[in-house]
Amino acid sequence: MSTGELDTVDAHLARVLGAVHPLAPIDVALADAGGRVLAVDVRSRLDIPLFDNSAMDGYAVRHADVAAATAAHEVTLRVVGEVAAGSAHDPGIGPGEAVHIMTGAPMPSSADSVVPVEHTDAGRSVVAVAVAPRPGAHVRRTGEDLHAGDAVLAAGVHLTAARVSALAAAGYSRVDVHPAPRVGVVSTGSELVTPGHPLARGQIPESNSLLLAGLVREAGGDVVHVASVPDDESVLDDEIARCLDASLDLIVLSGGVSVGGHDVVKATLAQLRTVGFHTIAMQPGKPQAFGMLHRGAETPTPVFGLPGNPVATAVSFEAFVRPALLRLQGAADVHRPRIAAVAVEGWRVPRAKLQFMPVAVVAAGTPPDASPTPLDTRPRVRPATRGGSGSHLVGGLAAADGYAIVPAEVDEVRAGDPVTVMLVT
């Protein structure tokens, strides 16, 4: 299934998204819904606010009684009751009367305005009002936020804390969401050693599984399997079989997809006619494997073979794996936010490839930013890695807030040039 030609990033992403479909929704308690993607449109079951209530601690009054109140000519009212938040009490208020009321308490039916306690002498049985409220002052009206039946949230949104709380306020205790995709992460390479272990000549700390597992979690995935295997086809075969046994929703491998003599992912997956090896016009991240692994009648599992160079792994995740994870979760928008920024330093750009340059956001005016005009509020960025977008510059990746995405037709980025940045922090 190798194309033999260079594909664009957009074409490869379309290939990936065309093969990956949202996981069937599940019904969960709101307490478990945070971070998930909503699977249905939700309309409010309740009016919000649910009843007219006081926005202030003070006195519920009839406006006509206090319309003439001033500091010089206070109006005195008899306090005939008290209503606290949660109280079902509805005391009647006649002319010249008031009810002591707390924030959130239901408005007495016979009152129309609230005088905050600060505008009174805070009297208990009799209260002197020194400031006339406007009619209806400090009354929060039934349904002024949402009416029952109004749209609250659309399918495909991420359930943030604020959105989960809005669902509770709208009368829900459970909701349909797409489950977190169960993901397996497998690093390949005989040079890789568990971090912290002694390193012999030729060996390096294994970092991609931490990178990928962390990025998967940040994208809403549930990492249920992590492994690092040597460049040995039978070991990788067994590992992939273990992943399939675990009924994962997505498998992401790193390393071994290039043309080296020990590129086991290529050797192992190429035998499966359902996995393709593609060369993408991007830098880093040029060699990419993607396909579906079949196991009996089960839904096939998407598998990614990402290039092993750590920056290439990170960029490939952003370009292809993260959108696939979000598609599995039914997200309406599978893309990271992008911003318009200005480069404060130039950098080298590859020919005829979309470049993902790790960049750090810096404050406007930070040298070498030439005196910014007050009207140009675009964020400033500088390369996070020294020496360009080399895919081995993993140390500099730690300083990156995002990737400047430089189109294939751009030959050079110079200081002061506008750039589009995909934010990842």
Binding site for ligand MOO (CB under 6 A): 283-286, 307, 309, 312, 391
Indicate whether 254 belongs to the interface with ligand LQZAQKY5 (CB under 6 A). Answer: yes
Q: Rule CB under 6 A: say whether 204 interacts with ligand LQZAQKY5.
A: yes
Q: Please state the closest distance from residue 307 (CB atom) to ligand MOO, in A.
A: 4
Q: Which of ligand MOO, ligand LQZAQKY5, none lies near 268, with the C-beta cut-off 5 to 8 A by kind?
A: none
To the nearest whole angstrom, how small is the minimum distance from the Cβ of residue 385 to ligand MOO? 12
Distance of closest approach, residue 239 Cβ to ligand LQZAQKY5, in angstroms: 14
d(CA 12, CA 290): 9
Piece of 55-63, 251-259, 342-350, 396-404 that binds ligand LQZAQKY5 (CB under 6 A): 251-259
Kindly indicate which of the ranges 194-202, 256-264, 267-275, 348-356 contains the residues binding ligand LQZAQKY5, using the contact rule CB under 6 A: 256-264
* Least distance to ligand MOO, CB of residue 305, Å: 12
Give the C-alpha separation, 107 to 139, whole Å. 8
Smaller CB separation from ligand MOO, 286 or 327: 286
Applying the rule CB under 6 A, the residues between 284 and 303 that interact with ligand LQZAQKY5 are: 284, 286-287
Nearest residue (beta carbon) to ligand LQZAQKY5: 308
Nearer to ligand LQZAQKY5, 59 or 277 (CB): 277
Three-state SS letters, the chain: CCCCCEECHHHHHHHHHHHCCCCCCEEEEHHHCCCCEECCCEECCCCECCCCEECCCEEEECHHHHCCCCCCCCEEEEEEEEECCCCCCCCCCCCCEEEEECCCCECCCCCCEEEEHHHECCCCCEEEECCCCCCCCCEECCCCCECCCCEEECCCCECCHHHHHHHHHCCCCEEEEECCCEEEEEEECCCEECCCCCCCCCCEECCHHHHHHHHHHHCCCEEEEEEEECCCHHHHHHHHHHHHHCCCCEEEEECCCCCCCCCHHHHHHHCCCCEEEEEECEECCCEEEEEEECCCCCCCEEEEEECCCHHHHHHHHHHHHHHHHHHHCCCCCCCCCEEEEEECCCEECCCCCEEEEEEEEECCCCCCCCCCCCCCCCCEEEECCCCCCCCCCHHHHCCCCEEEEECCCCCEECCCCEEEEEECC
Does residue 318 interact with ligand LQZAQKY5 by CB under 6 A? no
**Per CB under 6 A, which of residues 363..402 are in contact with ligand LQZAQKY5?**
391-392
Q: Binding of ligand LQZAQKY5 at residue 220 (CB under 6 A)?
A: no
What does the alpha-carbon distance between residue 329 and residue 321 come to, in Å, rounded to a whole number?
12
Among 90, 145, 191, 417, the residue binding ligand LQZAQKY5 under the rule CB under 6 A is 191
Instruction: List the single partner that 207 binds among ligand MOO, ligand LQZAQKY5, none, CB under 5 to 8 Å by kind.
Output: ligand LQZAQKY5
276: partner contacted, choices ligand LQZAQKY5, ligand MOO, none (Cβ within 5-8 A by kind) = none
Smaller CB separation from ligand LQZAQKY5, 194 or 425 = 194
Interaction between residue 309 and ligand LQZAQKY5 (CB under 6 A) = yes
276 belongs to the binding site for ligand LQZAQKY5 (CB under 6 A): no
Q: Contacting ligand LQZAQKY5 (CB under 6 A), which of 22, 307, 358, 383? A: 307
Chain residues that interact with ligand LQZAQKY5, rule: CB under 6 A: 187, 189, 191-192, 204, 206-208, 254-260, 263, 284, 286-287, 307-310, 312, 391-392
